[in-house]
Amino acid sequence: KAIAKTMSLDFSIVVASRHELLTQLKAGKVDVILALAYSSQRDEYADFSVPYSSMRHVIFVRKNGRKIATFEDLTSKTFITIRKGVTEDFARDKLWLRSLVLVDSIEQALLLLASGKHDGVIALRTTGLIALEKFKIENVEVSPFEMTGGVVTMRFAVKAGDSELLSDLNEG
């Protein structure tokens, strides 16, 4: 809101799933996605602002469950992540996982894990911690295992070619 006000931009906020927002951006139905991580796949249809925030991928595990201590542990376990998100891209491109289960929301992922299904959830730390609190999931925690290359920078995204709006956002 502050950037829009400073730059005298008219706006309305659309609340939708990440997949729906990406579909709407491609179709020209929305002008800006406020928080989107860069990926080479997304670069085909979106242009990105300078980064304004960083988040880290982590692994959520069940408390008192099988621990993840080494990179080799990643290749022998089954993980859950969100379909068509930057975390799926990260998991497929960087982690070389044996098995990846895709779901539509962080809530689904964490509830599956909490119920005893699969070995972990790969998600952005902040998103996962907020969901644990919101849905009162008490038997899941962040694994102390550090994943290399798991930092994601958040940016504004506009439809590819909208250089004027992108310039306004970068200046704001």
Per-residue pLDDT of the chain (172 residues; tens, 9 = 90+): 666 676 676 777 777 777 788 899 999 999 999 888 888 888 999 999 999 988 888 999 999 887 888 877 777 888 999 887 778 877 777 666 668 899 999 999 999 999 999 999 999 898 899 999 999 999 999 999 887 777 888 899 999 999 998 998 888 6
pLDDT at position 73: 79
Claim: this prediction has a pTM higher than 0.95? no
pLDDT at 119: 92
- Tell me the H-state helices in the chain: 2-6, 18-26, 71-75, 86-90, 106-114, 125-134, 163-171
DSSP 57-94: EEEEEETTS----SHHHHHTSEEEEETTSHHHHHIIII
Long-range contacts of 102-109 (CB under 8 A, 24+ apart): 104/17, 104/19, 105/17, 106/82, 106/131, 107/131, 107/134, 107/135, 109/80, 109/81, 109/82
pLDDT given at position 107 = 94
C-alpha 171/C-alpha 165 separation (Å) is: 10
Residue 13 confidence (pLDDT): 76
- Secondary structure of residue 135 in the 3-state scheme: coil
With beta carbons less than 8 A apart as the criterion, state whether 75 and 55 touch. Answer: no
Structure confidence at residue 161 (pLDDT):
94
Contacts with 149 (C-beta within 8 Å, 6 or more apart), sequence order: 90, 94
